[in-house]
Amino acid sequence: MTNQLLFIGNLGTGEIIIIALVVLLLFGGRKIPELMRGLGKGVRSFKEGVNNIEKDIENAAEEPKK
């Protein structure tokens, strides 16, 4: 089995630099921090949702015991 990261397993350093330059050209220097901030908020929201679901499951499992 090969050691690959999802779909980026075959990308080298040169390809990653080219992709980063294209993203910079498309969105500009001012938009990238906003995009990353939005992505961070989305990930945080997703993690909070997962934690809430886990707590609900744990609470539901403890209720019949009482």
Which pair of structure tokens corresponds to residue 8?
Answer: 């980026």
pTM of the model: 0.53
Task: Please calculate the CA angle 20-6-3 and round it to the nearest 5 degrees.
Answer: 105
Report whether pLDDT(1) > 50.
no
Q: What is the pLDDT of residue 63?
A: 75
Report whether pLDDT(7) > 70.
no
Stretch 13-27: mean pLDDT: 87
Report whether pLDDT(30) > 90.
no
Stretch 39-63: mean pLDDT: 91
Residues 6+ apart with CB under 8 A from 7: none
